[in-house]
Structure 1
Amino acid sequence: MNKHKLRALILMVGAIFMAFFMVNVTSQASTSRDQGVDWSKFQSNSGVFGYSTDKFVFSQAGGFYGGTNIPQTTYASQVASAKQAGKRVHTYLWDGVGGNMTNAKAMMAYYLPRVKTPKGSIVALDYEDGASNSVTSNTNAILAQMKLIKDAGFTPVLYSGKAYLNTHVNVAAIVRAYGNCLWLAEYPDYLVRTKPDYNWFPSMDGVAIFQFTSMYKAGGLDGDVDLTGITKSGYTTASKAKAQANVKKAQATFKVVKYNQRGVFYPNRTLAVRYTDSDKISQVATYYKGESVTYNAVIIEHDYVWARYTRSNGLYGFIKLGVTNGHDYGKRVTGQPVSHTYYTVKSGDSWWTIAQRNGLSMTTLASQNGKSIYTTIYPGQRLVVR
């Protein structure tokens, strides 16, 4: 193959991959993909707004600098300004504790009582400098802080850059504990950008917010896009009521679509299941005002029932419901075993290459294995391909 043909083939494969990636980013994101800004003392007492379409603001309450807590004197007035402008306002803190657990806890004890954004709102840790040489110590300090944030009634989020986090923190442990909780910054350039360029999206597990520019408008301002709806935390009273109503509805009977090879297949039978929500569930349904949710119970892992939900906006995910023979799940019946075709992941494989090899879309391949395409796959892992 000559150089020109090889280059054309590489470009074509790259274009196909980006097309799949963009479709998935769009389908996994909140329908509106709300944008917003974040402020420190450099945005004055009343803050600097971006555009009228922006929905949220993060204001810095202060941080831990050089061994001491230093609050931002602009925090209270910025929060008031954002509220007056009708924005959902959240809090962030400069987290310069490194891996020092004593300082990490002392920082939270100082700032959490001073948070002026609503219960349920985000309190983000800005961890981008001062990390210790111990990944374990850094990770444990962050986890302790995030637990204190959650225990205080707020939504914990971790801000940084992808490279910095991967160097200094066990990101998998953070995401395992708190799900989609990362707020990551990655800029293609320092030109004015009013919309995110997803070619520069810092793809990794657990990303909830993408800070796509520090030049949201002329003169400089950070611009962020909410990929999961997390900035609605603390501002969705009506949605919470609806979620509770849907939880009650979910204590119902669902049609079982499929078991794995250890289970049985009975599409015309029903199985009583109970919706439960805990920190152990990595993907749960998020309810927004005016939405409806449809459930189809699917068993895709050992003897656990998973409900595949579809929201009225077309997004979907899985909820782990419980053990099939558990107290609340009815009597298991005998039926025809399901046969599957499996593929063992090899070094260099990706969701895209495996899906293409088996005539599937990446989303279909991931979902029938109870995962998303953002989930890391490892050599030796078995995936259902038929």
Structure 2
Amino acid sequence: MTGAAMIVAFSFGLNAQAVRMDMVDVSNNNGYMSTAEYVSMRNEFGVKAVAVKISEGSTYKDPYAASNIANVQAAGLYINGYHFARYATKAQAIAEADFASKTAKADGLPIGAVLATDVESAEEQGNLSQAANDRNNAAFMKEIQKFGYRADIYTSGSWANNKMTIKGKTGWIAGYPYVMAGQKWYTNNNAWQWSGSAHFRISYGGFDVSQLYTDYYTAGQKSTVKPTDKNVVKANSQAANKNTSKPSTSAKWVKETKTYTLKTAVKLRTGVSTSSRAVTILPAGTTVKTDQAIIQGGYRWVRQPRFSGYGYLATGPTSNTLEYVKIGASHAYYTVKSGDSWWSIAQRNGMSMYTLASQNGMSIYSTIYPGQTLELN
């Protein structure tokens, strides 16, 4: 998601100008997330709620949804879900709502949780009128309520009340300013997602974080989740705000001539940021030829030469490091699948598992996850 959120009157004694990390959203892009990671988010950063990606379109099920839901609950946090919308008609909206709700139920999302529709696809909703999007969103939300879930809409600030209607006291809105001090955006909505690259102490990569303005995403109840050290939360919140005040200048592009075959749909963006405009969404199976790569904003990005400039794709978290991309070299890569081990990957590729782990900056005792990319030479 690339969106935003709202603020609730929770009091941790934070600097009044600091934007809070009330809610985090996670998906397959973040890989496996342990209970310990969620506990750290709660205790050290004041996170109260998590929104887990459940599904996309009418066929895609997020493979990490069930484990995320279980681990978030084990950490004592409020749990919600979201569905990435691909619908362009009312019938498609209803079908996707049925699919999302059934998937959410199977993954363990509790009845009464929010199951938001993430409406930001330039390819589908971007080509529709406001009236058409309003009709489709209403149909989706009405349908998921039949399954016992509460409804909301996630979208970007530029689309809110432009591409679709977002009424007051509803909506989860995305907007990323460079300078946070004293600013509170979308205060009339449920939530404001203010960053797509926040970092947590024991978790890899960047995360979407939101400030809540209502208790809609905390089950309509006063939160009973309390951080263990309010001073730590205050310090981390202020550091997070400071870190998003300006773009990083330390990232360096390196040459990487490579052909990717996408395993899932990926947004092709105009810049190296999850808040950059999506030119299009490349479907699974698309072949993408790239010429450079960079670590930035919590993600590993690649650049695709196009007929009129460049497009940019996030290929994974920063843990998919650029350290082993050697300028001018030709490389072979392997994408980890479920059931793989260091030994099985090495055997299939005629190499030692110790060599394989070492050249990827790890040891054979390091855990590898489905979707992770390993260099083979």
- TM-score band w.r.t. shorter chain: 0.3 to 0.5
Q: Which has the higher helix share?
A: 1
Q: Larger RCO: Structure 1 or Structure 2 (Cα < 8 Å, ≥ 6 residues apart)?
A: 2
